[in-house]
Amino acid sequence: MRRHTSGTRPGCAGWVIADGVGRQLDRQGGQGSRGRRNPALVEVVVERIGEGHSTRTVLNGLAQDARVGRAGKKTWGLRSWGVEEYSGIVDEIVERIDRDGGSCDVESLVEELRSTFSVTENSVRLYLSTLAFVIEGGRVRRRTDDEPWTIDDRLAVARGAYRNDNALRLRLPVTKDVLRGSGHAIHPAVAVALAVAPGAQLRDR
């Protein structure tokens, strides 16, 4: 979460788009019930500007305008509204752990992030299951630097993973998320088999 009350004015043609974005967001927000400011999808902003700009162009305008902040995974709003600014699932998890004194209830955390930022429950739980966090008794906390981590490296426990002709093979269901290029979690045993340790990367060529 970040809150900003001031910013700088972007230059060149970008300001023309950004200024229109800011004005349209202000109008959109002003239509909320009882004066509540409502963040908007970029598609809504494009429609309200009505000048034929592409979604990508308006997104660039949003990114350039210091008055505008990301209010959710897909929504934007003016920082002057005081809305909580979305900074990514991991940052939001860490912030709430710190806010609650070092640990927080998993179910409450999932529901808060889902309802506040329109992220999916599965995405939140996926990040909670990483080595960065420890879940005990229904509460999640940060893993400390001196805390050991253990991984079941038996490939037999990783669904869809097997060795064939000295090659590691992994069968994954082809879902709509896979087709649109979203990331997909794999069993830690597969990472161990590929010699990928926490913090390391492996690029497929």
Q: Look up tokens 């005990």; give the residue.
A: 136
Residue 84's Cα: distance from chain center in Å?
14
| pLDDT score at 19 | 53
Q: What is the CA radius of gyration of the chain?
A: 21
Contacts (Cβ under 8 Å, ≥6 apart) of 1? 84, 85, 86, 87, 91, 92, 95
Give dist(CA 141, CA 135) in Å, integer: 7
- Cα distances (angstroms) measured from residue 153 to each of 90, 136, 146, 156, 199: 25, 22, 21, 9, 17
Q: pLDDT value at position 104?
A: 96
Strand ranges of the sheet holding 104-105, from the earlier edge strand across to the other edge: 104-105, 139-142, 133-136
Residues in the chain: 205
Write down the pTM of the prediction: 0.61
The answer to whether the CB of 28 falls within 8 A of the CB of 48 is yes
**pLDDT on residue 3:** 44
Burial 165-204 (b: 16+ CB within 10 A, else e): eeeeebeeeeeeeeeeeeeeebbbbbbbbeeeeeeeeeee
Q: What span, in angstroms and rounded, lies between the C-alpha atoms of 67 and 63?
A: 10
Burial of 155 (0-12, 13-18, 19+ CB in 10 A): middle
pLDDT tens by residue, the chain, 205 residues? 544 433 434 333 333 344 555 565 555 544 443 444 677 787 887 777 777 778 888 888 777 777 788 888 888 888 878 878 888 899 999 999 999 999 999 999 999 999 888 888 988 998 998 888 999 999 999 999 888 777 778 888 888 998 888 889 998 888 887 787 777 778 888 888 888 877 677 776 6
Residue with tokens 């598609």: 43
Tokens at 121, concatenated: 């429950």
pLDDT score at 141: 96
pLDDT at 48: 75
Distance (Å, rounded) from C-alpha 167 to C-alpha 145?
34
